[in-house]
Amino acid sequence: MSKVRVRFAPSPTGGLHLGGVRTVLYNYLFARHHGGEFILRIEDTDQNRYVEGAEQYIVDCLQWCGLIPDESPQKGGPYAPYRQSERKNLYHQYAKQLIDSGHAYYAFDTTEDLEKMRNDLKRADNTNPQYDHSTRMKMRNSLSLPASDVKDLLANNIPYVIRIKIPESTTLIFTDMIRGEISFDTNLVDDKVLLKADGMPTYHLAVVVDDYLMKISHAFRGEEWLPSAPVHILLWEYLGWKHHMPEWAHLPLILKPDGNGKLSKRDGDRLGFPVFAMNWTDPRTNETASGFREMGFMPQAFVNMLAMLGWNAGTEQELFSIEELIHKFSIERVHKGGAKFDFEKGKWFNHQYIQQTDDTTLTQLAKPYIEAEGINVNNDHLLKIVSLIKDRCHLLSDFWQQGHFFFATPHDFDINPIKEKWNDVKQQFFTSWIASLNDAKDWNYGIIEQNFNTQLEISGLKKGDVLLPLRIMLVGGKYGPGVFLISEIIGKEETILRVNNVLAKLSVL
Ligand code: GLU
- The answer to whether the bond into 167 is cis (omega within 30° of 0) is no
Closest atom, ligand 1, to C-alpha of 11: 4
Measured in Å, residue 190 CA sits from the centre of ligand 1 at 19
Give distance in angstroms: CA of 20 to centre of ligand 1.
Answer: 10
Question: Rounded to whole angstroms, how far apart are CA atoms 283 and 348?
Answer: 33
Please state which architecture CATH assigns to domain 416-507.
Orthogonal Bundle (1.10)
Q: What share of the chain is helix, strand, coil (3-state, %, to 5)?
A: 50, 15, 40
- What is the 220 CA–ligand 1 centroid distance (Å)? 9
pLDDT score of 86: 97
Which ligand 1 atom lies nearest to the CA of residue 225? Answer: 6
Q: List the end-to-end C-alpha distance of the chain, in Å, as a whole number.
A: 79
What is the CB < 6 Å shell around ligand 1?
Answer: 9-11, 43, 203, 207, 221, 225
What pLDDT was estimated at residue 127?
Answer: 82
Expressed in angstroms and rounded, the spacing between residue 300 Cα and the centre of ligand 1 is 25
The 10 Å CB-count burial string (b at 16+, else e) for 425-459 is ebeebbeebbeebeeeeeeebebbbebbeebbeeb
What is the predicted pLDDT for the residue at 481? 96
CA of 219 to the centre of ligand 1 (A): 10
Write the CA distances from 84 to 38, 50, 98, 200, 232, integer angstroms: 17, 12, 20, 9, 17
* Residue 420, C-beta contacts closer than 8 angstroms, at least 6 positions apart: none
Class of domain 1-72+260-356: alpha beta
Closest ligand 1 atom to residue 219 Cα is 8
> What is Dmax (Cα atoms) for the chain?
111
Which of 38, 221, 248, 253 has most ligand 1 atoms within 8 Å of CB, for mutation? 221
- The one-letter amino acid code at 37 reads E
Compute, in angstroms, the gap from residue 45 CA to the centroid of ligand 1: 12
What is the reported pTM?
0.93
Active site residues: 265
Mutate to test the pocket of ligand 1, among 11, 24, 211, 218 (most ligand atoms within 8 A of CB): 11
Note the pLDDT of residue 497: 96
b/e string for 11-35 if b means 16 or more Cβ within 10 A? bbebbbbbbbbbbbbbbbbbbbbbe
Distance in Å, CA 98 to ligand 1 centroid: 22
User: pLDDT value at position 1?
Assistant: 66
Equal fold, 1-72+260-356 vs 416-507: no
At the fourth CATH level, the homologous superfamily of domain 87-213 is: Glutamyl-tRNA Synthetase; Domain 3 (3.90.800.10)
Cα–ligand 1 centroid distance for 91 (angstroms)? 17
Asked whether 334 and 310 are in contact (CB, 8 A), the reply is yes
Choosing from 5, 58, 207 the residue with most ligand 1 atoms within 8 A of its CB, the one to mutate for a pocket test is: 207
pLDDT tens, position by position, for the chain (509 residues)?
Answer: 689 999 999 999 999 999 999 999 999 999 999 999 999 999 999 988 999 999 999 999 999 999 999 999 999 999 999 999 999 999 999 999 999 999 999 999 999 999 999 998 888 778 888 999 999 999 999 999 999 999 999 999 999 999 999 999 999 999 999 999 999 999 999 999 999 999 999 999 999 999 999 999 999 999 999 999 999 999 999 999 999 999 999 999 999 999 789 999 999 999 999 999 999 999 999 999 999 999 999 999 999 999 999 999 999 999 999 999 999 999 999 999 999 999 999 999 999 999 999 999 999 999 999 999 999 999 999 999 999 999 999 999 999 999 999 999 999 888 999 999 999 999 999 999 999 999 988 999 999 999 999 999 999 999 999 999 999 999 999 999 999 999 999 999 999 999 999 999 888 76
Nearest CA, atom 9, ligand 1? 221
Half-sphere exposure of 339 (CA within 13 A, CB side): 22
Residue 125's pLDDT is 79
| Separation of alpha carbons 506 and 17, rounded Å | 50
For ligand 1, atom 10, name the residue with the nearest CA. Answer: 10
Domain ranges of the chain: 1-72+260-356, 87-213, 416-507
What pLDDT score does 15 carry? 95
283 with 51: CB under 8 angstroms?
A: yes
